[in-house]
Amino acid sequence: MKNSIQQKIQNLFETNRMAFVLVFYFYCLVENFIIRVILTIKEFSGLSSPLVDIPKILIAGIYNDTLNFSYFLIPCVVYLVLVPEKLYKSKIQNALNHLFAFIVILIFSFQAHSEWFFWNEFSARFNFIAVDYLVYTKEVLGNIQESYPMHLVYISVFLTSLLVYGLFFKLLKKIPYLKHSESFSHRVKSALIILAIPFSSFLIFDKAFRNVSENQLVNQLSYNGLWQLFHAFRNNELDYDSFFKTLERSKVVNLMKKELTTPNSETVDRSGGLPFIRKIKGEGTEKRYNVIMVGVESLAASFMQRFGGAPNITPHLDELANNSLFFSNIYATGTRTVRGLEALTLSIPPTPGASIVRRNNNENLFSIGKVFRDRNYQTKFIYGGYGMFDNMNAFFAGNGYEIVDRTNFVRDEYIMANIWGVDDESLFNKVLKESDKSYRLQKKFFNFVMTTSNHRPFTYPEGRIDIPSHTSREGAVKYTDYSIGKFLKDAEKKPWFHNTIFVIVADHGVGGRGTMEIPMEQYHIPFFIYAPGIVKPQVVDRLASQIDVDPTVLSILNFSYESKFFGKNILEMKPEEERAILGTYSSLGYFAKGTLVTLGLNKSIGYNTYDPKTLKFSKGAKEDTNVRDSAISYYQHASYLWKNGLYGGDVLESGQNLVKPAKDQKSAN
């Protein structure tokens, strides 16, 4: 039997050119099967029911790999059909076969190693974050070099490739020498049979075996990493109406008017096809205080001891919570810095696809910076890294901010730096200097600051804390905590300190692990407003969203302004108004009244219950039509405004339309 099978395989290679690509197709399937098995073993504890989950992972995984790797066959098959018989049997072709084989093996060996490191960082197969890694190569490759022993990784990739190539070498020597000539028509027939696989998979893949479980860990393990990378690249921005559940436009507008109208606001309808605008009325005289808003990299609430974090990791922040207006029940809108920047500057829900910060035509939008500039404030974006990354400089400059990034730091202005930026101490010293400049010019200022130290490779100046640099995220968090404490202490010595409000809020939490599609507990972030003599210390436990930060800060200043913000003043929220807005690249979440509504692709809707106190999910919650319609309205309305260029920052007179549609605006890139 064994000899019979071997003979059939040998006959196949001696009579059909396509056997060459089928060998490597089989290699790709085996390699990715091994990757999936290793990752499944690693995440075994996260499986809900291993006896059910493991077959799902393996069967769906093989199916997905079979379809997805068929795309790699297309150029190979076309070449083998067209190459003349004489060339195919030549030494040149033999050399090309060996070169092709080694390159393919090298690429897939590199992919296998990359998937391991990517999974360790993000608990997911390649996704839109990996797309960013391909776009921003300087920062990403620098981060990888600083975070991992890459010389050992490269050696492992090369040695693994040589080992696999050695297994194929004997077979490769035989391939060019067919016993019989293969006619062109026969080659075409064979090619059409093989090419039917990728063409059919392109039409059905998004629906077939896309999700095989309610446990998102199981789905991630069943995915194919390279397909996920291609899928994310192809869907950088998703049209809400095409992919997600919708309501009648008039119903959405009415629901949003009801949702956003507050006792201190008046809704104004403008002609020209514009959305409704709210006139926010401040209570009493406006207070022209300076504002420094600090977006802290990856500061999950779970790091703080009051939320169950390890003792003595965030001593300054834990103390700050007692001395500030502290919001203990706030949730980020996403898992990326650009989502946090979007929420904290525009107060808008996360529309599906890439963040608005990353998109074209994102200048002159309605932002908190505009509200301050209308009052003659200086507005600055201060960042310790290179603001070209993630399109941050283009976004902030296009929306009226002066840019101060790493290119503005001279060598004696920072202690140390890694690929992401200068250390947080040096960043905050720069903030003090920039604030001093505005003060000397007798200008009120709004400075938006973005930190970088709580980011792999977790390096920081030695001797500041009791955890050595470059050892753990806990060390990076403690160093950031130390830097914030030092910053506030240094700021007390400044003449502008007693007229300044300090806003400290995370850009997002940490990690993506979780069995739910949107692991809500990982979106929990802290939010502080610190201003001795201005703001009375208090703990506010109302459930709210990152998009509520701006309206809350402006309410403390008693600002009266025309608003397009989706956020609301947390201090005035009634219990029935509390909600959290949070999403991923292609899933949109809305949590209210204990129910988490998840809007997914193909217009799907999921319902789960969640208890923020115990961090416990219960699947399959009863449908609440009111919560569902509110969820749809927030995202549908935000997407409508963005798509039609209606989130501009121009102040409009009745009957005027000064906001051009997005497609007519000049790109900020």
Q: Residue 665 has what pLDDT?
A: 32
Over residues 266-279, mean pLDDT: 71
Question: 262-301: string of b/e by CB count within 10 Å (b at 16+)?
Answer: beebeeeebeeebbbbbebebeeeeeebbbbbbbbbbbbb
Q: Residue 30 has what pLDDT?
A: 87
Q: What is the mean pLDDT of the chain?
A: 84
Q: Give residue 263's pLDDT band: very low, low, confident or very high (50, 70, 90).
A: confident
> What angle (nearest 5°) sits at the alpha carbon of residue 507, between those of residues 361 and 512?
105
Tell me: pLDDT of 666 over 50. Answer: no
Q: Residue 148 has what pLDDT?
A: 63
Tokens of 11: 């006959």
Tell me: pLDDT of 620 over 90. Answer: no
DSSP 303-360: GSGGGTPPTTSSHHHHHHHHSSEEEEEEE-S-SSHHHHHHHHHH-----SBS-GGGSS
Cα–Cα distance for residue pair 402/390, rounded to 1 Å: 17
- Give the best-scoring range by mean pLDDT among 154-168, 187-201, 400-414: 400-414
Q: Residue 238 has what pLDDT?
A: 67
Of 269-273, 330-334, 407-411, 645-649, the one with minimum mean pLDDT is 269-273
Over residues 484-507, mean pLDDT: 98
Tokens of 503: 């806003």
Tell me: pLDDT of 349 over 70. Answer: yes
Cα–Cα distance for residue pair 102/165, rounded to 1 Å: 6
Number of alpha carbons in the 13 Å side-chain half-sphere of residue 532: 10
**Could you tell me what percent of the chain has a pLDDT over 70?**
84
Q: What is the pLDDT of residues 242-258, one digit of tens each?
A: 778 999 988 999 999 99
Cα–Cα distance for residue pair 76/85, rounded to 1 Å: 16
Q: What is the pLDDT of residues 182-206, one digit of tens each?
A: 778 888 888 888 888 777 766 665 5
Q: What is the pLDDT of residues 565-615, one digit of tens each?
A: 999 999 999 999 999 999 987 789 999 999 999 998 778 898 988 887 777
Cα–Cα distance for residue pair 385/423, rounded to 1 Å: 9
Is the separation of the CB atoms in 157 and 113 below 8 Å?
yes
Q: What is the pLDDT of residues 517-572, one digit of tens each?
A: 788 889 999 999 999 999 999 999 999 999 999 999 999 999 999 999 999 999 99
Q: Give residue 13's pLDDT band: very low, low, confident or very high (50, 70, 90).
A: low
Q: Residue 484 has what pLDDT?
A: 98
Q: Which of 461, 475, 401, 392 is nearest to 427 (CA)?
A: 461
Q: Residue 307 has what pLDDT?
A: 94
Over residues 489-496, mean pLDDT: 98
Cα–Cα distance for residue pair 282/563, rounded to 1 Å: 12
Q: Residue 623 has what pLDDT?
A: 82
Q: Which of 179, 173, 230 is nearest to 206 (CA)?
A: 230
Residue ranges and CATH numbers for the domains of the chain are: 2-234 (no CATH), 243-664 (3.40.720.10)
Q: Residue 657 has what pLDDT?
A: 31
DSSP 97-125: HHHHHHHHHHHHHHHHHHHHHHHHHHSSS
How far, CA to CA in Å, does 360 sit from each of 128, 364, 643?
17, 12, 11
User: What are the two backbone dihedrals, phi and then psi, of residue 452, each rounded to the nearest 5 degrees?
Assistant: -135, -15
Cα–Cα distance for residue pair 605/411, rounded to 1 Å: 53
**Residue 567 CB contacts under 8 Å (≥ 6 apart), including other chains:** 347, 545, 547, 548, 549, 550, 551, 552
Q: Residue 332 has what pLDDT?
A: 97
- Give the best-scoring range by mean pLDDT among 149-158, 339-348, 448-457, 599-608: 339-348
Q: What is the DSSP-derived secondary structure letter of residue 484? A: H
Q: Which of 636, 566, 562 is nearest to 250 (CA)?
A: 636
Helix axes 625-643, 249-260, angle to 10 degrees: 100
Cα–Cα distance for residue pair 534/527, rounded to 1 Å: 17
SS3 74: helix
Over residues 218-246, mean pLDDT: 75
pTM here is: 0.73
Alpha helices in 587-662 (DSSP H): 625-643
Over residues 129-156, mean pLDDT: 63
